[in-house]
């Protein structure tokens, strides 16, 4: 019954003192009052003890009051013997009334204490909510957290959050503690991984001097709180434990909301940057088309003898001007096409098309680029017509052939093949170049991504290929060939053609 602070012993001592005081009052009042009236003095003592809210001391005061009344005032006095049996009923009633009064008073005190604690918990939650509502950013949320919890619990608070390296790092502290020992760091990591408290007053490592509580959000733990009591060393009482649990959930939700806001802000900024970049590229691309057409036309006229005969070094320079202008024109075309595909401005005009004709047209357009390379095509005669936008899909083949030309040495082979499968046609464009790094097999279809050198191209051709193929409901992917080189496969679905005028 004895605890570290001796409080139960003190309560029973006060109960005995109250009964002793009632006895002294009884001696002082006995010459003037009837014996049965002294019962009220002992009932008053039991009431005063019960008002402190302890059921055990109240019952002790009730029983001790009956015994003292019998011993000091009921004849024969100073003896527990009773000469008149009618006093037995008086003792019984006196004890029952004292017990009832004690029980009612204790219950009222308990309810009042529960109401007070509930009000305190609500006020504390409201105060923390008010602080968290004005905090912006994870650091501000954590600073408000440790400051408020240090005031409520009278202890040292340390907030731990996930680090980019995968462990936990110190986010904010109320007492300047920024680093944990290896043992406590392991405890904190276990709490974060399991979402269960550990340390002081728990079943996990109860001998620890600090309590570790997880910060729980909707998606799971987002951090850990370390609480080391100072004003009242030892485990938290049940009310404090409930309050800390409520705080932990509230703080966890605040941290998750802050992270969601940061992600939304980052996504908005990325979208804005992409929109501005697309707008700039579109504007610049359209402005470049006219002068590029003039440069290509002028160079072509001079090379074809539209003026004085050109030869030697001058002809070589003109050919270089024409080639580079044509390359820049293709880049501008790809920029415009990529912008249109992303904005949704391109409307597919599907009709049954022959893949053999589209591949042949693409090979004709890339004849100069593929010069010096052997081209092999394997397109079965019974290949079915495919419902697609011929202009866009032809551009896909052109981009894939240009990509093969850039990444294969002179004399290497490029192969184009197709075959019909169930509900789709599979087309393959393979080369005998160096192949692709494993981490680039998917990223190679991203805009402005270069698997090798920046000089290899603008990084738009394959991005356009994926956009066009996916717009047709198909799929495109890249693989490395076992014998060396890369192979690009695109699957186009078969179905009823959507013919539009």
How far CA 297 is from CA of 288, 291, 303, 317, 323, in Å, comes to: 14, 10, 10, 15, 12
Most confident of 51-65, 114-128, 334-348: 51-65
pLDDT of residue 497: 42
Tell whether the torsion through CA atoms of 287, 290, 292 and 295 is positive or negative.
negative
Classify residue 377: in a domain, yes or no: yes
Q: How far, in whole angstroms, is CA 311 from its chain's centroid?
A: 68
Do 357 and 228 lie in one domain? The reply is no
Classify residue 337: in a domain, yes or no: no
For 13-27, 181-195, 302-316, which range has the lowest pLDDT when averaged over its residues?
Answer: 302-316
pLDDT band at 120 (very low <50, low <70, confident <90, very high): low
Q: Which two tokens stand for residue 26?
A: 């009884």
Classify residue 174: in a domain, yes or no: yes
Classify residue 199: in a domain, yes or no: yes
Do 30 and 168 lie in one domain? The reply is no
Say which residue the tokens 């709180």 belong to. 225
pLDDT of residue 342: 66
Here the CATH number for the domain that contains residue 213 is 3.30.450.40
Three-state secondary structure call for residue 340: helix
pLDDT of residue 352: 92
pLDDT band at 355 (very low <50, low <70, confident <90, very high): very high
Averaged pLDDT, 97-107: 72
pLDDT in tens, 222-263: 889 888 887 666 788 787 788 788 888 888 888 888 888 888
pLDDT at 100 over 90: no
Classify residue 393: in a domain, yes or no: yes
Q: How far apart are CA 172 and CA 161, in angstroms?
A: 9
Three-state secondary structure call for residue 491: strand
Do 70 and 157 lie in one domain? The reply is no
Do 12 and 104 lie in one domain? The reply is yes
Say which residue the tokens 């503690």 belong to. 177
Classify residue 400: in a domain, yes or no: yes
Do 433 and 379 lie in one domain? The reply is yes
pLDDT of residue 258: 82
Q: What is the DSSP letter of 38?
A: G
23/133: higher pLDDT: 23
Classify residue 93: in a domain, yes or no: yes
pLDDT in tens, 296-313: 888 888 777 655 556 677
- 204 neighbors 177 (Cβ within 8 angstroms): no
Do 203 and 109 lie in one domain? The reply is no
Number of domains in the chain: 3
Averaged pLDDT, 450-473: 74
Do 258 and 352 lie in one domain? The reply is no
Range of the domain at 182: 137-262
pLDDT of residue 416: 94
Q: DSSP labels for 250-316?
A: HHHHHHHHHHHHHHHHHHHHHHHHHHHHHHHHHHHHHHHHHHHHHHHHHHHHHHTTSSS---HHHHH
pLDDT of residue 452: 54
pLDDT at 467 over 90: no
364/315: higher pLDDT: 364
pLDDT band at 454 (very low <50, low <70, confident <90, very high): very low
- Domain-terminating residue out of 116, 146, 169: 116
Do 488 and 369 lie in one domain? The reply is yes
- What is the pLDDT of the chain when averaged over all its residues? 80
pLDDT in tens, 32-66: 877 777 778 877 877 787 777 577 787 787 788 88
Do 351 and 489 lie in one domain? The reply is yes
For 79-88, 240-249, 356-365, 419-428, which range has the lowest pLDDT when averaged over its residues?
Answer: 79-88
Q: What is the C-alpha end-to-end distance of the chain, expressed in Å?
A: 95
pLDDT in tens, 383-433: 999 999 888 899 899 999 988 888 888 888 899 999 998 889 999 999 988
Classify residue 487: in a domain, yes or no: yes
For 194-203, 333-342, 434-443, which range has the lowest pLDDT when averaged over its residues?
Answer: 333-342
Burial class (CB in 10 A: 0-12, 13-18, 19+), 123: exposed
Do 76 and 149 lie in one domain? The reply is no
Report the percent of the chain where pLDDT is more than 90. 13
Q: How far apart are CA 452 and CA 450, in angstroms?
A: 5
- Domain-terminating residue out of 199, 230, 262: 262
Longest dimension (CA), the chain: 152
Q: Of 136, 108, 112, 153, which Cα lies nearest the Cα of 261?
A: 136
pLDDT of residue 451: 64
- Domain-terminating residue out of 262, 295, 319: 262
442/239: higher pLDDT: 442
For 16-25, 66-75, 475-484, which range has the lowest pLDDT when averaged over its residues?
Answer: 66-75
Q: How far apart are CA 246 and CA 348, in angstroms?
A: 56
Within 10 angstroms of residue 325's Cβ, the number of other Cβ atoms is 20
pLDDT of residue 378: 93
Do 355 and 486 lie in one domain? The reply is yes
pLDDT of residue 3: 41
Do 154 and 242 lie in one domain? The reply is yes
pLDDT in tens, 187-212: 888 998 888 988 888 888 777 888 89
Q: How far apart are CA 220 and CA 8, in angstroms?
A: 42
């Amino acid at each position: 019954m004895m605890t570290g602070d001796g409080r139960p012993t003190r309560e029973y001592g006060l109960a005995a003192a109250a009964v002793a005081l009632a006895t002294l009052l009884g001696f002082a009042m006995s010459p003037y009052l009837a014996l049965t009236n002294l019962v009220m003095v002992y009932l008053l003592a039991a009431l005063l003890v019960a008002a402190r809210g302890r059921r055990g001391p109240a019952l002790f005061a009730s029983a001790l009051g009956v015994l003292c009344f019998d011993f000091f005032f009921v004849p024969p006095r100073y003896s527990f013997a009773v000469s008149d049996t009618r006093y037995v009923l008086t003792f019984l009633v006196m004890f029952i009334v004292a017990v009832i009064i004690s029980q009612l008073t204790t219950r009222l005190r308990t309810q009042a204490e529960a109401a007070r604690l509930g009000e305190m918990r609500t006020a504390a939650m409201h105060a923390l909510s008010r602080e968290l509502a004005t905090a912006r950013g994870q650091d501000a949320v954590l600073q408000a957290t440790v400051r408020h919890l240090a005031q409520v619990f009278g202890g040292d608070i340390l907030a731990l959050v996930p680090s980019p390296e995968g462990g936990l790092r110190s986010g904010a502290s109320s007492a300047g503690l920024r680093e944990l020992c290896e043992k406590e760091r392991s405890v904190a990591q276990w709490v974060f991984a399991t979402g269960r408290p550990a340390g002081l007053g728990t079943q996990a490592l109860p001998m620890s001097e600090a309590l570790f509580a997880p910060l729980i959000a909707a998606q799971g733990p987002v951090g850990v709180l370390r609480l080391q009591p100072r004003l009242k060393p030892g485990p938290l009482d049940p009310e404090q434990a409930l309050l800390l649990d409520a705080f932990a959930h509230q703080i966890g939700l605040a941290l998750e909301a802050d992270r969601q806001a940061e992600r939304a802000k980052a996504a908005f900024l990325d979208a804005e940057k992409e929109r501005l970049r697309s707008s700039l590229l579109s504007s610049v691309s359209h402005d470049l088309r006219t002068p590029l057409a003039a440069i290509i036309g002028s160079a072509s006229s001079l090379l074809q003898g539209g003026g004085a005969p050109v030869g030697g070094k001058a002809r070589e320079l003109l050919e270089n001007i024409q080639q580079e202008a044509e390359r820049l024109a293709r880049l501008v075309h790809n920029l415009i096409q990529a912008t249109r595909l992303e904005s949704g401005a391109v409307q597919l005009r599907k009709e049954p098309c022959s893949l053999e004709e589209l591949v042949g047209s693409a090979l004709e357009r890339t004849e100069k680029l593929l010069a010096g390379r052997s081209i092999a095509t394997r397109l079965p005669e019974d290949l079915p017509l495919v419902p697609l936008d011929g202009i866009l899909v032809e551009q896909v083949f052109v981009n894939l052939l240009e990509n093969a030309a850039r990444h294969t040495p002179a004399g290497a082979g490029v192969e184009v093949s197709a075959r019909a499968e169930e509900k789709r046609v599979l087309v393959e464009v393979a080369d005998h170049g160096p192949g692709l790094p494993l981490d680039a097999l998917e990223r190679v279809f991203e805009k402005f991504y270069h698997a090798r050198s920046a000089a290899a191209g603008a990084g738009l051709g394959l991005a356009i290929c994926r956009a066009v193929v996916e717009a047709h409901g198909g799929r495109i992917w890249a693989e490395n060939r076992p014998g060396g080189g890369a192979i690009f496969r695109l699957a186009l679905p078969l179905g009823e053609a959507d013919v539009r005028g």
